[in-house]
Chains A and B, each alone.
Chain A
Amino acid sequence: MANGSVPLRYRISIDRDRCMECGRCVENCPYGTFRWEGDRIVVDSRNCTACHRCIAMCPRDAITLTEHPCDYRTHPVWTRDARESIYNQAKTGKIILAGMGNASPLPPIFDRLLLDACQVTNPSIDPLREPMELRTYIGKKPSRLSFKRGEGGEVELQTELSPNLKLDTPIMIGHMSYGAISLNAQLALAKGAHEAGTFLGTGEGGMHPAIFPYQENMIVQVASGRFGVDVDYLNRGAAIEIKIGQGAKPGIGGHLPGEKVCADVSCTRMIPLGSDAISPAPHHDIYSIEDLAQLVRSLKEATEWKKPVFVKIAAVHNVAAIAAGIARSSADAVVVDGFRGGTGAAPKVFRDHVGIPIEAAVSAVDQKLRAQGVRNEISVIASGGITNAADVTKTIALGADAVYIGTAALVAMGCRVCGNCYRGLCPWGIATQRPDLVARLNPEVQAEHVANLIHAWTMEVSELMGAAGINAIESLRGNRDRLRGYMLDEGMLKVLDVKPVGA
């Protein structure tokens, strides 16, 4: 203990006048913050992770949580975080892992984009009373159609369309693997997606048999570790997604800590019990763009060209060029994951410092594909830090066909974004495999929560579209004229192709 202890992250205090000593805090906290000593509840704040389980369960609201109860001398460069990371690495000599999305204080671009509404020169539309079409088709589209006119004047379509996914809302749930999250959590998400008329990604953990009833709403992922990938898996999904990268950690592969590799996960992924499941950084059969095209076509061949195949990339500097390459590879959609994407575990230094924001990435991809005259032929799905319906609307206006939400769906199920997913002790039953903790998540109840969230946001998107005088989502897509930038510099406005407020 040469350097002594680092100050408490959080301090828990119990208001003893209000406390009724029911002991729910002791039962619920998996981190050991509370214990009985005789008939008194004793608090060990050092163990607290700010997961809020105790606060949510206390019937008397007797628990208070304060963050950073001990101050450091304030310093603009040697922040608390900078200092404490060094204490950690000096002690351990290792890479620091962290959970959830980018935590550095960079302002979200979404918050600096404002939406338009119609007045006088054309009418806003009331989605409660007039038709509002949010139906979205994801997949490959032809550049043009060929017809045949019969003698009776009827027109027959000759072009055959590739299979597309039909969504009732442009909001889909992104990939969170079984392993990273519990089976109950994944079941809740699958059921919620089904009820909302949208789709859920399996993540790179394969598809557990319990999810089979919802397979028509599942997008199966083929990641670099190829966990759980066999031909049945591919045929089960409504679509296949090749994961090249993810926004939280561009350039490196998935990471499931051994704490979460229980018997079931070991079976689904075909790896030893308790060992870390680390996916390689690249797919080791993709070292260049033409190799990606080969993988896309191999998967299509294996599934008889019946399933749309998506390619997911992290938003990096040349994301537009990569997307253009993907557009030529027979892929049906490109998924772009911005630097705020969530994760169960990523090196902190990647999570906070690698990748670019989704707002800029989706703009760049949309513009590049348009410049090449191919934008309409492939779908673009965007993700990474989408927190409300306004973000969804702005993302579509910047050029996306649809969005994936990740963290938001978990929050709907109770997650407090404490960021301790990698420990496998999530008290909400989400990011854990411990059976007693997993049992806390009721898939029926949480499925309803997830469906509610998507439903509520979909209604809000409808309202925003209606206010802008648009009644079909095709007319919102890429329509940057309906956005204005506020407190964004000229260079950023140019990249986004958005005018400043007042212009």
Chain B
Amino acid sequence: MVVHIDAADLHYTPLNKQIRAAVRDGETEIVIDHVLGQRFIADGLVGEVTITVNGVPGGDLGMLMRGPTLVVHGNADHAPGNTMDGGTIVVHGSAGDAVAHSMRGGKVFVRDDIGYRGGIHMKEYEEKRPCLVVGGNARSYLGEYMAGGIVLVLRQGETGTFVERGIASGIHGGEVYIRGEVDEDCLAIGAKVLPFDEEHRARIRPLIEEFCRHFGVEAAPLLGADYTRIGPASARPFAGKYTWE
């Protein structure tokens, strides 16, 4: 059975209460309509449930959640997937700044563009390997402070070289893949262009396929395209800056 929640004029606390109540009752499908700016939807939610969000959610969508699948029909605001622990977020639209901030597990798929500082501080440990996949473009400081996980920017519809700045600044783990050419000047301190081989193509293949499934896009051209792979220049990028008294 599908649970319907009307979010019109509903504050996020009662909205989340209704969501949690449904999950506790064992519901597996929830649809929320007339969402307009509510923050913290599914914040800290644990469980196997699919939530469809119709409208424009506010910031920190799915923050700290572990397990649920959120499907958004509209643009997401600031930091969807913030410190997310597991589960999936699918945004049929674009998202703002700091998408997947400090993410530690799960996957975030954005159909269109994201803003600045996407994937900042993503981390990973053993099987917990978060992924952020962006269908359109991403802005500066992508993958800043990254310690793990994968950021994949497909740049559909974009031709020409990627020209944002500060990419993967301070990266010490994880990888950023960007379709097409990336100007050397875009890379920030600690980041390096690494070889992109069949091994890496195989690594991002399942992500591309899942992205295409979610948004009904043809996979072949994306699978066959060339990607620039960016990773850490060293595990201790700032060791050379400090000295003892």
Contact = CB atoms under 8 A, between A and B. Distances in A.
B169 interface: yes
B170 interface: yes
Tell me which of A126, A129, A131, A459 has the highest count of chain B C-beta atoms within 10 A of its own C-beta. Answer: A129
Nearest to A126: B170
B241 A129 contact: no
Interface in B164-201: 165-166, 169-170, 188-190
B215 interface: no
A129 B165 contact: no
B144 interface: yes
Contacts of B188: 129
B19 to A, nearest CB: 30
A459 B189 CA distance: 14
B169 A130 contact: yes
A70 to B, nearest CB: 34
- Taking chain A's interface residues, is the majority helix, strand, or loop, or is none over half, making it mixed? loop
Nearest to B241: A459
Contact of A131 (B145, B165, B190): B165
Contact of A130 (B141, B190, B238, B241): B141
A167 B165 CA distance: 23
A145 interface: no
Interface residues on B, range: 10 to 19
A129 to B, nearest CB: 4
Nearest to B243: A456
A19 B152 CA distance: 67
Nearest to A128: B238
Interface in A428-483: 459
Contacts of A130: 141, 144, 166, 169
Interface in A110-168: 126, 128-131
A461 to B, nearest CB: 14
A131 B144 CA distance: 12
A128 B166 CA distance: 11
A129 B241 CA distance: 13
Nearest to A131: B166
Contacts of B144: 129-130
A503 to B, nearest CB: 32
A129 B190 CA distance: 9
B82 to A, nearest CB: 16
Contacts of B170: 126, 128-129
A462 to B, nearest CB: 10
Contacts of B190: 129
A131 B166 CA distance: 8
Contacts of A126: 170
Contacts of B238: 128
16 contacts: A128-B169, A128-B170, A128-B241, A129-B144, A129-B145, A129-B169, A129-B188, A129-B189, A129-B190, A130-B141, A130-B144, A130-B166, A130-B169, A131-B165, A131-B166, A459-B241
Given A128-B169, A128-B170, A131-B165, 5 more contacts: A126-B170, A129-B145, A129-B190, A130-B144, A130-B169
Interface of B: 141, 144-145, 165-166, 169-170, 188-190, 238, 241
